[in-house]
Structure formats: structure tokens, C-alpha cells
Structure 1
């Protein structure tokens, strides 16, 4: 695409917080108690889901652009300002109880609440579902974005323990458990594109020159279609955004155990374990997609989903004159149901969607989960003879349902879940999971100059030159981020163009699928695309999300400081800083799109970016006073 929508204009939005907080602490006997409260008023003014331009044109190729062969044109005819408000409150009680000189117990309780997400003028438009779970054709318009407030009281108990087993001060054992909530207070951008206050129109199949000047800006878009006979120039098919109308606050349960041991006066080792389980985690889902079924016919079932375009002799066709495939009994598939035709214009509309008068949706639903477990070991050296360092290694595993918009590394996976009716199909390694991670940093006051091992008797200009040097460095070595190969098109026929399907593993392929960076240097691909095959139309691929790991990352940054002391109050510092000193090339994740149409993609597995820049050296002067 040569041009695509760029999202909302941040210049037209405004957000402010007014916060009050206070804490009190007091001690009585072996109890050290504290209590506090926090109140925050959130105001978020949004100005519709528009770019405040005349529209955005989308062309697939340069030739299409030159010929004005427009793929899609996006425009918002009448964006309306929205004024969202929310009040958040929290309070807590905590008691540190010194049971013994070497044993302290911490008990705490926190409560959080919010009055919801409300629009001042009653213009919160959000789609809701009927008792059968079918999305309604028109959004519900009210003051609150939600049907109910599930954040009126969110209890968060905490317990912690600190113990010195020997009482010598050389051991420390700490354990804890807590529940934490993430109050949602930045939701305006999820509601500003729903009709009638910010609906975006999509025009297809028309030259740009025939569109410009014909859109009636400043007027409401045509209302929703409600029957096949309605589909004409006076009704619209909207694609909802929005939020779960019965949203629950994301919640995390976390527990930990840490053991520290002082090895000597200057060295300490630490072993720790951290685990967590999160629920009510947000996921982008299309709950108006065609519902998958399990084939119950012993002779097989025709699959295709939205790829079904018609019939011939009672056999459904998937594109032109090609018969749709048959899947065996017991397999999950989307039936090859030909689309219904709107009476007035002949424009087709898919009947596989639960509500055929609502388009594909990408709403946030708080129904996914995640889990995390990690073990780490660290060694710390206090500063002696000018040298201090800390080294840490962590082994971890993070599983979730979707993480595409939770981290920058989320670009390694599609932005919506594959099948919202079976979320376990999407469960896998999070896109920002790191199985192995090693970090180390050090600071070394070089032993030159007055009072040091070398040149200890230096004075005057000699000491100014050789003394006051400091060497610093940091080392990072970690495994790669997970990535998910994709098909590049909606082979499953769900109608969700935001989520390219995953391929199948090729049972006829025997070689290694992941070739690694060495393989990329020799073959031009990080993974072998022949390790995958295209799923049948109307079926899901069997490649698990996050089942492949991208390139590892290694980096060494260092710096050299020289301190010049003029008086007790003024000091000048000269700095030489080198980033990626070894000039190592760290590759980014490969292109995951494996197929282009029915053929292998020429760019599958190709790496086009690096994960960090090449060596950079900078010089600086810093005045300290």
C-alpha cells in the first residue's frame, strides 16, 4: 500500500490528571503501621476517529497509483468531540510486625475502585451483545461505556516475610505474595471511531478523482443496514472498534522467593524465583467473525468460510470455478456457505458472520490470561580497590494469549487472536519472552594518580593528567524473541483481515526449519519456507504461536571518564562513550509472511533490519556543581 490511515491526530486530543495522595505512619511496640489514600481525576478529550484531512487513499502498487486504480479510500465525514471522565480511588493499610529480631512479617491490604469511563454529554457509543452473544447492529449510546461497573472494589491483599536464618546478618530469605490491578483509564481512543460520532467511511472500487468533492462532510453517515433489502446508498455496514461492555480490570497474582548470602565482606550472591498469573488481560478480538464448527459428516464437509463465492451443481466454489475443499470428520473448519446478495444493488454480504449487518470488528475484550515463571542468580561486588560490579542471569518463560500491542516486539505476531471462540489456539510464548538473559555492569576507578597504586606520589600537573580516570561498561547477552510465521492472507475464511492465518507444518519436510543467522548469511533466509505448507481454505494452520525464536542479541557498551576537580563545589568531567564497541551486527526478527497467494513468498524469512545501530562513539564535557 502506498498510503494508509495514520490514526487519530494527537494534536486535537487533550488529557489531564488531578491527583491527591497522603500517607501516615506510626510505630507501636513491634508494629510499624502505615495507611494512605490516593484519588485521581482523569479527563480525556477526544476529537473523533479522524485524521482531520480530506481522506486517506490506499493503492496497492505504484502502477495502480498512476492509473488511479484505488483500492480503498478512508474518510470521516462528521467527527464529533468526546469528553471522557473517570475518578479513581485507592486506599491501603499495612503492618510490619517484628516477630523476632531476625523475623519480620508484613501484612497489607489495598483497595482500588473507579466510577467507570463516562462521557460528559452522554455520547459514549459502544457495541453490546444480545442474550445469544450476537453483536447488535447499532451501538449503545449512553453516558457510560460499560453496561456495568466491575471495578467498584478491587481487593489486593499482600503478605511478605523477611528472615535471617542464622541471625548473623549473612543470610536473608524473603518471600511474598500480592494481588495487583491495572485500572484502565486511557480508553477514549477505543470509542472515538464508533458511529455516529466518529465513524469512518470506506469507499472501494472508485477512482479517487470521482470521490473528491462528493463526500458530504459535516453530516452524519448513513444509518446501519438492517436487512438485505436495505443495502443501498442510504445505509451503512459499520466495522466496530470499542471495548468489552462488561469489562473486568486486568489482575495479576504474583509470588516470589529470594535467598541472599554474603560470601565475604565484599561479595554477595542472590538466588530468586518469581512467578505470576494474570487474568482479565486485554486481547483484540473479532467476535463477529464466522463461527468455526467441527465436521460431523462421515463423508467430510466443504470448508471455505468467506472464500466461498458461489455454487456449481450443489458444490460450493472457492474463487472462480475452483471447488471448495473437503475436510474430514472431526476437523475444525468454517463452512463454505455462499454469500447472500442484497436485493437492491446486487452487492454481496457475507452470511457467515453472526450479524451480517456488522462488519469485522477489532474490539478489546478482557478475557485472556498469561503466566510467568523465572529463576535468576546474581553476583554483586561492592566497591573495593576501585572496582564494583554486578552480574545477573535469568531463565524465564512467559506464556500469554496475545501480546502484539503490549510491547514493541509484538510486531512479531498478528494484532488479533486467531480464533476468539477458542483462545487456547492462540496460547503460546509471548512476543517479548526471553528464555535466557545475562546482564553485567562494572565501574573501575583506574589505579593512577595521587594515593593510587601507580603514581601514588604524583602531584600538581602530573596528577591532573594521570589521576581521576574511571572506566565503566555494560554487557548484554540474551536469546531471541519468539515470532510466528503467517500465511499473509485470510485462508481460514474468518473475514478478519487484521489477522493473517498461520501455515501448517510441512510433513514432507525433514530438514531444520530455523537456519539461524549463519543460515541467513549463506542462504539469505533465517528460516526455510519449505518447512511450511498452505492450509486448506476454511481451516486453521497448526503452527503454534511463538514457536520459533529469532536471532540472539549481544552488546558491549563502555565509557571512560576523566574528572577534573577545581574546588570542592565545581568539577569538570570529560567523557568518551562507545556504544556497541565491538560493532557487532545483531539481526532483528525475520519477515514472518511465508506465502504470497498460493505460492511461497520471495521475502519469507528474510531479515531487513538490525536490532541495534553500528558502533557509535561520542565525546562530552559535563560540569558538576
Structure 2
């Protein structure tokens, strides 16, 4: 039912009408690619081109019914009878309240009015919405987006034990002004000692530059909320908020001179690019054992983020572009760095089994996690640098392919990773940028009423000068463990294939036995999360939520197309081939 306004209590619940409204999406995608190669003595030259296009037609009435948001804050303490708790001097005692407590107090507004309190006095008690948003206008938006990539590379065999790879790629797309995306690549491989058939050690190194494309989804958002196709209003004026649960009309918003909120793409936006270098050492050991150690250094520049470029200036209510409303802009000002060390071991036990194990040690930092990441302070991005959401310190994989009795084939996979970081915020908009991205400070005075004690530390939700604001992604979530197992058995029947019969006539029995009969039936059982181990998702990081620090969803199962619930799932598959 989207005839009612949506009630949003962050990290607690969503009630009222549906915020999604009526929507549908139609995508038409095409791709053309061509690759050509030449073998010239010691050179293996490849060149090619790839061109892709997408036509996106998206119809959405999301938030046409309006949304009232109830965030946390600081308010007077209430006793069991909902009377103000006062200190020794008669002044109200203030305490941090959660988002759901604000909503509860909003339900008490009729009681407060009966007691003769004004709307402003009721707000000091922590009752009433903290934000209202609504959209209107043309529901449909369309995007045509194309990108082109051309490349050439040369694999040059300098010596029997030394090869060099050189490459250059150029990429181009519409809907952004960046057309300088050249990406060189270099790789070298050296096998010291021995002849061509007896080399046991290979040293590899490489460096390359890689571009990310600007998604058509961001272009769609900028076209939809350009202030012309659709109008979007995000309001924190108490005169509007006090109308709850009545939804203010667009005419009423115009009477209050409420400016629109628009989304746009920065004029100087560039495609994010990654400079990645690696070095690896591979060694073949006795008894079918091989070992590989790899170090990878990754740097990504021009990473995407969002920013309200017309937020109030620090310390006052003035805005850089005047009172024209909030301007949410996609820009490429972010940075990411990562170092990874991996060790991979493979054991080949002839035709019986192949076992492998991989351990990865990683360290990743950045000042944004995605194009939809907003900074806590629009005018100070230096405080955003911290652990990346990808900073999973330890990862371990163990798997293999095993042939067992009765011609059964087993493919186990064990996966473990340590916890990923998550962001901790106050759940309040204290700087007027219409966002709830502010982070708390590390508490220096535990007696302050704005201090909240958690298992992640003591935080001050109302920082004062001199306090240290916590870095982005300060918290670290739970780890992840899962065991998957596949078991299969193939049955062949029917007449022998012509190839097998021909092999037998030539007395090539050792060769012919690898050819099956005409028909093959394969039975497979795939088990995800064999031991039904519970893997909670990242905890809620909103300090104004009653569920702060708790995981209220599953991290899902590991693997492509896996079960989002993360519980044990058994699939039985039958393949018939002929």
C-alpha cells in the first residue's frame, strides 16, 4: 500500500506504506568483440576491440508517497509515567535516545498536547520526525550508454626460459567527459636453470593499469533527480515535520519555499583507475607437490564517492551555492590501497586426488567504499581515510577433487575469512547536510550524558572540540566459516562410441578406455554449508539503533548463485548426455 507515507526508523523497522511504489525496468544490452592473433617467430601478437551498449528504461514511483524518518538524538529523560526527569537543580536530565525511542515518544504527542505542551516543547522531549522526503514528477527515466575498448599486446619469447609481455589498452565511454583512458601493461616470466623440460622454478612479475567504467545506474539517478524530470524534497524544517502523520502536498512545500534536492555527475569526473603490480614465485616440489607465493600491491585513484556540495558551511547555515537546496554529486576524488600476500599449495596424487589450499593475508585502506558513500564532513575528506570495507585480514581456502570407492567423485571446499570492517555512526544529522553519516568521538569524559558504552568502545555522540572522531569503518564484524561438498557418480551404458570402437580395433586399449559409451547418466549431490554453521552478517553500526552491534541478517552462503539465507542447502542434479 503506497497510499500511506512510509515510516522509517533506521536499523529498527520500516512501516506505513511501501517506499518502492510501482516500478519496472527494461534493459537491452548488446556486445560486439573481435580478436586477432599473429604468430611471428618469437612473438605472439594479439589485438582486438570490444564495444558494448545498454538501453535502460526505468519506471519508478519510489517515495512518491513520502517518507518520515525518525533518527536518534539527545532529549530529556522520561520516567515510567512519561514525565520529565529533573536533576537536583530542577533542570531536565538529558540522555541519548534511540531511533525507536523517538518513534515511541512521537506516539505520545496527543498526551503531551493534553498536558498543554507546545510543539517546540514536545520536540525537546524527543518526539517528532527528524526528516521528511518525497518525490514527484515523471516516473520514467531512460539512459543510453556505450563503451569501447581496443587493445594490442605482444608475448615475446626472448629466450627459452625468459618471456616478456607488453600491452596497451584504450577505453572510452559516453555520459562522462573523461576520454584519456590509456592503460599500459607489462609482464615478465623467468625460469632459472635447467633445460626447457626440467625447470622447477618460475619467477613472475607484472604491472598494469586498469579502468573501471562509470555505471549506467549512476547516470540514471542523475537524470531522474535532475530537478526537472523528477522533483525530490528532503526536509528537516519542524514546521513540515510537525504535520506527521499528514503528508504535506507539493503546493504546501512550495509555500514554505522548500528547495529541491538534486543529483548530478561532476563535470570533471574521471573513470577510476587501478595501478596493480605483482611478483610471484612458483616452485615444483617432489611427489606432485607445487608451491606458489604471490605479493600484490593495488592502488586505485579517482575512486567514486558522493558528496553534498551545497551543505551548510561549518559553523553556520550559509551554503556555497545559496538556498537552492541540497546537491548530491557523484565525484571521483577517492583513494584505495591494498597489499596482499598469498600462499598456494597444490598436491597432485596421480589419478586419485588433487588437493589445494590457499591462504591470503590482506591489508586495505581507503577513503570511500562506493559511489554511494557520503563523507561524515563534506568539507573535510581527510577524516574519511581508514579501513576499507574490503579489509578482510585473513582468508583461507581448502578444496580438491577426490576419486573414492565405487567411482564416486568428491569435491569438498572449506572457506574461512576473518571479520570485515563496518562503519559506526551516530545516527544523527547534526551538520544539516540531510545525511546520517556523522561519526562519534572516542569518549574522554564518561560522565557526559551523550556517552554510549558499547563492546566496541565508549563513544561520545555529541563531540566537543579536542575530541578524536573515530575513523571510518572503525568496527569489525564476525568472521565467516563454511564447508561445501559435492558428490557425483557417472553411469555409462548403451553401445560403445565409434571413437572407442576404432581405438580397440587399433589395439589402443590404453587410449580407448577413456571414451565412454553412447549414453551417460550423472547423479550429483551439492551441499552448501554442510554443518549448517550460522554466519551472521555485518552488525548494525548506527548508535541510535536499539540493535546497535547486533547482526539481524545472514551473511549468506559462499559461492556463485549460493543461498542468501546461508543455511544448509542440498541440491540433487541429474545430467543425461549422449
TM-score range, shorter chain: 0.7 to 0.9
* Alignment-derived partner of residue 428 in structure 2: 489
TM-superposed CA distance for 1:5, in Å, is: 7.2
User: Residue 474 of structure 1 aligns with which residue?
Assistant: 413
**Alignment partner of 1:96 out of 155, 164, 188:** 155
- After TM superposition, give the deviation of residue 234 of structure 1 in Å: 8.2
Unaligned ranges ≥5, structure 2: 1-7, 9-14, 71-102, 111-127, 447-451, 495-516, 557-564
CA, structure 1 residues 66+243, in 2 after alignment: closer, same or farther (shift >3 Å)? farther
Give the equivalent residue in structure 1 for 2:116.
none
Q: Aligned partners of 2:163 and 2:424: how far apart in 1?
A: 50
Match for residue 568 of structure 2? Answer: 616
1:7-18 to structure 2, matched below 5 A, reads 11=24, 13-18=25-30
Contact 2:426 2:436 in 1 (8 A): no
The equivalent position to 1:586 in structure 2, one of 519, 535, 550, is 535
Cα 1:494–1:615 change in 2 (3 A) is: closer
Structure 1, residues 188-213: CA drift from partner, whole Å, max 9, x if none? 2232112111112457336578658x
Aligned to 1:192: 224
- Aligned partner of 1:55 in structure 2 is 65
Is the Cα–Cα contact under 8 Å of residues 416 and 499 in structure 1 kept in the other structure? Answer: no
Residues 3 and 58 in structure 1, CA contact (< 8 A), matched pair in contact too? no
- How many angstroms apart in 1 are the aligned matches of 2:22 and 2:184? 41
Counterpart-to-counterpart distance in 2, 1:261 and 1:483:
38
CA contact (8 A) 2:223 2:229 kept: no
The one of 241, 263, 283 equivalent to 1:205 is 241
CA distance in 2, matches of 1:391, 1:589: 26
1:543-622 superposed matches below 5 A? 543-567=470-494, 568-594=517-543, 596=544, 602-612=546-556, 616-618=568-570, 620-622=572-574
Q: How far apart, in 2, do the equivalents of 1:363 and 1:5 lie?
A: 27
Deviations 1:63-105 (A, max 9, x none): 8689998876654442164443344222212111111011111
Task: Judge conservation of contact 2:377–2:438 (CA < 8 Å) in 1.
Answer: no
1:408-487 matches, within 5 Å, as 415-446=373-404, 448=405, 467-487=406-426
Q: Secondary structure at the match of 2:255?
A: coil
Return the offset for 1:359.
Answer: 2.8
Report the CA distance between 1:574 and its aligned residue: 3.3
Counterpart-to-counterpart distance in 1, 2:22 and 2:304: 24
Corresponding residue of 2:309: 287
Distance 1:538 1:425 in 2: 15
Distance 1:71 1:156, change over 3 A: closer
**Deviation digits for residues 589-615 of structure 1 (CA, Å, limit 9, x no counterpart):** 333223x4xxxx653323333434565
* 1:275 and 1:373 in contact (8 A); partners too: yes
Q: List aligned pairs for 1:320-359, cutoff 5 A.
A: 334-335=314-315, 337=316, 351-359=317-325
Work out the CA distance in 2 between the residues paired with 1:84 and 1:486.
34
Q: Distance in 1 between matches of 2:255 and 2:567?
A: 59
Pick one of 127, 137, 143 that aligns with 1:84.
143
* Deviation for aligned residue 1:378: 0.5
Partners of 1:373 and 1:269 in 2: how far apart? 20
Q: Deviations over 1:33-85 (max 9, x none)?
A: 122222334433345x633x852343754886899988766544421644433
SS in 1 for 2:221: helix
Secondary structure of 1:191's match?
helix
Offset from partner CA, 1:238-276 (integer Å, 9 cap, x none): 122121122111111111111111112521100001111
User: Over aligned residue pairs, what C-alpha RMSD do you find?
Assistant: 3.3
Runs of 5+ unmatched residues, structure 1: 118-145, 223-231, 292-333, 338-350, 407-414, 449-466, 510-524
Contact 1:570/1:623 (<8 A) preserved: no
Which has more strand, going by share of residues? 2
| 1:165 paired residue among 174, 185, 192 | 192
CA distance in structure 1 between the aligned counterparts of 2:158 and 2:400, rounded to whole angstroms: 38
- Choose from 266, 273, 295 the match for 2:288: 266
- Aligned residue in 2 for 1:229: none
Does the 8 Å CA contact 1:5/1:74 hold for their aligned counterparts?
A: no
TM-score between the two structures when normalised by the length of structure 2: 0.73
3-state SS of 2:348 partner? strand
Under a length normalisation based on structure 1, what TM-score does the superposition of the two structures give? 0.68
What are the superposed Cα offsets for residues 179-235 of structure 1, whole Å, 9 maximum, x if unpaired?
1112324122232112111112457336578658x658xxxx99xxxxxxxxx6285
1:388 alignment partner, one of 336, 339, 354: 354
